[in-house]
Structures are given as C-alpha cells and as structure tokens.
C-alpha cells in the first residue's frame, strides 16, 4: 500500500530529486502528475490546509502565467487564487508530498527528509551534483 503521495512534475528537477529521495528509502510513492491529472478543489484545499501555509505560498511564479494574471495583487481572495490554480495547474508549486507524518511543499528537495516514515537506505546526490545523503544513509552537513 502506498502511504506516500507526490504531486509531481517530471520536468522539474526539484520534483525529480524528491521522488528519488522517497525511493531511496525503499518506498514507492503514488505519483500524481498534476499537470495531466490536476487535483479537484476539495483535494487542493485539503492539501493547502494540511500544509498549514497561506494559499499564496503554494502559488508558483516562475514559468507560469502568474504575472500576466496579476496574481501578485492583494485583491485576490484565497478562493479566487485556488480557482486560478484549478484553471492553470502550472500555478501549483511542486512537489507537494503527503506522508503519514505530514504534508509539505518540498522546496528545497531535502525538506522531504523530515516527513518520510523510513530512513534513507544509501547515498544520494541531487541531479546538480550536490551530495545530500552519505553512504551510511545520513544527511550530509552543509558547508
């Protein structure tokens, strides 16, 4: 049974790194490619509530119609911002990961480590070459 779900964009390096960190525990996540299968309103609002963050924190600006839609304007209500994310799923920041421990927007990718139920099983290096987990499955200290 998959008790981990990732709202994933395979074109996003951070999202790919998070999925790889999940798999490095020996678990497999339910992968929801939210651009192909966007969450419905109830799911999206439940995810935002579970993360305990403002709706605006879930909005992605880079590579989206954020500026064209004027979403930086404070006039938009949370419900309206959710409507925009439902109309334009690319506005949803990613990856969002749901585990039995918590629901979190995992940026940077290492944020997922705090909510995974099982420990890392071996070394892990991000796509950009940054070592995250050593051969003993421990976090690599940042310089």
Residue 82 within any structural domain of the chain: yes
Residue 106 annotated to the active site = no
CATH of the domain at 21: 3.40.30.10
Residue 143 within any structural domain of the chain: no
Residue 139 within any structural domain of the chain: no
Residue 141 within any structural domain of the chain: no
Residue found by looking up tokens 């979403």 in the block: 71
> What's the number of domains the chain is made of?
1
Marked catalytic residue, from 4, 6, 7, 12: 12
pLDDT one digit per residue (tens) for the chain, 143 residues: 469 999 999 999 999 999 999 999 999 999 999 999 999 999 999 999 999 999 999 999 999 999 999 999 999 999 999 999 999 999 999 999 999 999 999 999 999 999 999 999 999 999 999 999 999 999 998 77
Which domain does 125 fall in, by range? 5-133
Residue 79 within any structural domain of the chain: yes
Residue 120 within any structural domain of the chain: yes
Residue 37: other Cβ atoms inside 10 A: 9
Residue 44 within any structural domain of the chain: yes
Sign of torsion over alpha carbons 114, 130, 4, 121 = negative
Within 13 Å of residue 94, how many CA atoms lie on the same side as its CB?
A: 31
The 3-state DSSP class for residue 6 equals: strand
Residue 43 within any structural domain of the chain: yes
């Amino acid at each position: 049974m998959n008790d981990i779900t990732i709202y994933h964009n395979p074109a996003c390096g951070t999202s790919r790194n998070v999925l790889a960190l999940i798999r490095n525990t020996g678990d497999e996540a339910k992968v929801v490619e939210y651009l192909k299968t966007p969450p419905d309103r109830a799911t999206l609002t439940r995810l935002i509530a579970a993360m305990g963050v403002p709706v605006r924190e879930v909005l992605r600006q880079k590579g989206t119609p954020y500026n064209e839609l004027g979403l930086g304007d404070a006039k938009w209500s949370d419900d309206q911002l959710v409507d925009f994310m439902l109309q334009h799923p690319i506005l949803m920041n990613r990856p969002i990961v749901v585990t039995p421990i918590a629901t979190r927007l995992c940026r940077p990718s290492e944020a997922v480590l705090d909510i995974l139920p099982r420990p890392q099983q071996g070394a892990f290096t991000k796509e950009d070459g940054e070592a995250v987990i050593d051969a003993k499955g421990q976090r690599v200290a940042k310089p």
